């Protein structure tokens, strides 16, 4: 008899081609996503070795990281920074040369790679999806097996062979049960998890998120949770497909149709973890105990409920952690004991592959409607499709009336590689996934939170409890 398997074990086993005595296994890659980043190195290697892309129709190229969020009509020629312009142009040239479909600067469905993959129906349950980006785990929200790969040698291997060598990780199931309190969102759930287990808490593990709280989430909320798996050290985050997943994918542009849909659906129904499946580790959280979260340090684990204070490192017993927290507070220019809800901010950014989908924009718009931003604020939709849908609903008019900037889809101020960044010493309320030193610009001070919390910060000028609005 077959042993009871988890979602991860089931999908992994289906993709193994051969095992290496050293512990690695060669996996078949169903689909591969490529952004501009440093991927030109892989294409240069392919070119120098006279290699062809093994299955070009199973690779999709997307321009997002370096793409400007304003003045796009004549891009890339109009991109002022010559290095950024060359990177953007390189992906277009490489995609054309190697026969890969490219959602580039002026494609009507252009957007952030981890937003448009699910949005198109390119991401599907049971598929192994490779991408040269650390937040590839986003795609696991639909029951896919996401594998983050390097931008040079590993990407070259996938392009040339449609396979990748990987060592099978251990498994960790994180179960969240119960009903989330009002205004507590998927972003608060994942920040609470990371704050509890730390940035190394899931290293070497594939995480499956389970429980009634997860099942009650939309696919967009699930993507937010899976997206930040890497911030806890896990390169893989997955959620079992269910009716919510099926309804999300039905009718998507690249989803199966007709008899192919019926066959795909029958397969997807076989994927959820067996009730008796075993995991190497288990973690259980009670949703009713969670609250809106904000970060105060320079790591996603440095996050606390908005109602709490900046921690005092002198109260931390572990010397290494005490030193790390002290350094973080020095960088963030925060004094121990400061109420988080009293910290003034300079700018607000709503966007990124974590929180720039319709659900996120609706939540932020609901907070700012009828109010005015008292600090500079910007909204960068996750895709051109999201932008157009938001404009049809009038969300753009709500943001503009409140004094926000309404921009075009790109990664924008999440990493600042397109020129959107904070000035040294500026403090932001941001819906991004990382708050590392200099992440949003040299000397930038970043507090990460949900879209509704970022909107509350915009209209109050400080970190604020959205529940008070």
pLDDT of residue 436: 96
Same domain for 331 and 452?
yes
Q: Phi and psi at residue 23, in whole multiples of 5°?
A: 110, -15
Domain membership of residue 252 (yes or no) is no
Q: Mind listing the pLDDT tens digit for each residue in 140-168? A: 999 999 999 999 999 999 999 999 999 99
Single residue among 167, 186, 201 that ends a domain in this structure: 167
| Same-domain pairing of 65 and 200 | no
Q: Taking residues 41-67, report their average pLDDT.
A: 97
Render pLDDT for 382-429 as a digit per residue (tens, 0 to 9). 999 999 999 999 999 999 999 999 999 999 999 988 989 999 999 999
Same-domain status, 313 and 372: yes
Domain that holds residue 18: 7-167
CA dihedral 353, 290, 273, 253 (to 10 degrees): -30
- Lowest model confidence (mean pLDDT) among 204-208, 296-300, 417-421: 417-421
Per DSSP, the residues of 132-182 read SSTTGGGGGGGT-EEEE--TTHHHHHHHHHSEEEEEPPEEEEEEEESPPPT
344 and 215 in a common domain: no
Query: What distance, in Å, lies between the first and last C-alpha atoms of the chain?
Result: 57
34 & 145 share domain: yes
What does the pLDDT look like over 90-118, one tens digit per residue? Answer: 999 999 999 999 999 999 999 999 999 99
Residue 1 has pLDDT above 70, yes or no: no
Report yes or no on 261 lying in a domain. Answer: no
Specify if 340 maps to a domain: yes
Q: Distance (Å, rounded) from C-alpha 248 to C-alpha 213?
A: 18
- Stretch (H or E) spanning 385: helix 384-393
Pairing of strands 24-28, 16-19: antiparallel
Boundary residue ending a domain (116, 134, 167): 167
Q: Are residues 142 and 176 in the same domain?
A: no
Residue at 251 is within a domain:
no
H or E segment to which residue 458 belongs: helix 451-460
Residue-level pLDDT at 21? 85
Report the mean per-residue pLDDT for the chain: 97
Tokens of 449: 């939170």
Q: What is the CATH number for 194?
A: 3.40.1060.10
Would you state the pLDDT for residue 188? 98
Domain identity same for 325 and 275: no
Are 319 and 430 members of one domain?
yes
Q: How confident is the model at residue 120 (pLDDT cuts 50, 70, 90)?
A: very high
Are 26 and 153 in a shared domain? yes
Task: Pick the last residue of a domain from 167, 182, 209.
Answer: 167
Q: Does residue 2 form part of some domain?
A: no
Mean pLDDT, rounded, for 304-313:
98
pLDDT band at 2 (very low <50, low <70, confident <90, very high): confident
Q: Comparing 21 with 374, which gets the higher pLDDT?
A: 374
Q: In this structure, is residue 174 part of a structural domain?
A: yes
155 and 188 share a domain?
no
**Number of structural domains the chain divides into:** 3
Confidence of residue 225 (pLDDT cuts 50, 70, 90): very high
CB environment 281-304: b (16+ within 10 A), e (fewer): eebebebeebbbbbbbbbbbbbbb
CATH number, domain of 65, equals 3.30.499.10
Q: In which element (H, E) is residue 128 found?
A: strand 128-131
- Tell me what the mean pLDDT of segment 329-358 comes to: 98
187 in Cβ contact with 180 (< 8 Å)? no
Same domain, 311 and 455: yes
Check whether residue 212 and residue 155 sit in a common domain: no
Whether residue 150 lies inside any domain: the answer is: yes
Checking 253-259 for CB contacts under 8 A at 24+ apart, the result is: 253/109, 253/120, 253/121, 254/120, 254/121, 254/122, 255/121, 255/124, 256/124
Rounded mean pLDDT, 36-58: 96
Q: Does some domain include residue 256?
A: no
* CA-to-CA dists, residue 141 to 119, 136, 213, 261, angstroms: 12, 10, 14, 19
């Amino acid at each position: 008899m077959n042993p009871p398997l988890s979602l991860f074990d089931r999908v992994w086993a289906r993709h193994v081609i051969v095992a290496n005595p050293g512990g690695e296994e060669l996996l078949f890659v169903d689909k591969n996503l490529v952004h501009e980043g440093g991927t030109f190195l892989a294409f240069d290697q392919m070119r120098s070795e006279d290699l062809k892309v093994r299955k070009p129709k199973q690779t999709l190229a997307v321009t997002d990281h370096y793409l400007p969020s304003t003045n796009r009509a004549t891009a890339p020629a109009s991109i002022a920074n010559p290095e950024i312009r060359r990177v953007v142009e390189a992906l277009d040239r490489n995609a054309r040369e190697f026969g890969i479909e490219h959602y580039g600067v002026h494609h009507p469905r252009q957007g952030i790679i981890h937003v448009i993959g699910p949005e198109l129906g390119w991401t599907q349950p049971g598929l192994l999806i490779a991408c040269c980006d650390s937040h590839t785990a986003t795609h696991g929200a639909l029951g896919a097996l996401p594998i983050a790969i390097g931008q040079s040698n590993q990407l070259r291997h996938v392009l040339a062979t449609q396979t990748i060598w990987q060592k099978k990780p251990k498994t960790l199931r994180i179960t969240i049960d119960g009903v989330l309190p009002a205004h507590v969102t998927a972003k608060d759930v994942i920040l609470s998890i990371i704050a509890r287990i730390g940035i190394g808490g899931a290293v070497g593990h594939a995480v499956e998120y389970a429980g009634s709280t997860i099942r009650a989430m939309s696919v967009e909320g699930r993507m937010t949770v899976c997206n930040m798996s890497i911030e806890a050290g896990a390169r893989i985050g997955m959620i079992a497909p269910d009716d919510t997943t099926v309804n999300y994918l039905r009718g998507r542009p690249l989803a199966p149709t007709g008899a192919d849909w019926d066959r795909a659906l029958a397969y997807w129904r076989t994927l959820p973890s067996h009730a008796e499946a075993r995991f190497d580790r288990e973690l259980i959280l009670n949703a009713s105990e969670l609250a809106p979260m904000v970060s105060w340090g320079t790591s996603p684990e440095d996050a606390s409920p908005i109602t709490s204070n900046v921690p005092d490192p002198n109260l931390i017993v572990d010397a290494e952690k005490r030193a790390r927290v002290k350094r973080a507070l020095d960088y963030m220019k925060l004094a121990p004991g400061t109420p988080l809800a009293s910290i003034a901010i300079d700018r607000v950014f709503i966007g990124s592959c974590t929180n720039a989908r319709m659900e996120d924009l609706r939540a932020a718009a609901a907070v700012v409607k009828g109010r005015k931003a008292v600090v500079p604020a910007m909204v960068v939709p996750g895709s051109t499709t999201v932008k157009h849908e938001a404009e049809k609903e009038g969300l753009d008019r709500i943001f503009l009336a409140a004094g926000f900037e309404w921009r075009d889809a790109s990664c924008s101020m999440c990493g600042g590689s397109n020129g959107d960044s904070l000035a040294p010493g500026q403090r932001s309320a941001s819906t991004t996934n990382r708050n590392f030193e200099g992440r949003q610009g040299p000397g930038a001070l970043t507090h990460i939170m949900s879209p509704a919390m970022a909107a509350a910060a915009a209209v109050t000028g400080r970190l604020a409890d959205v529940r008070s609005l």
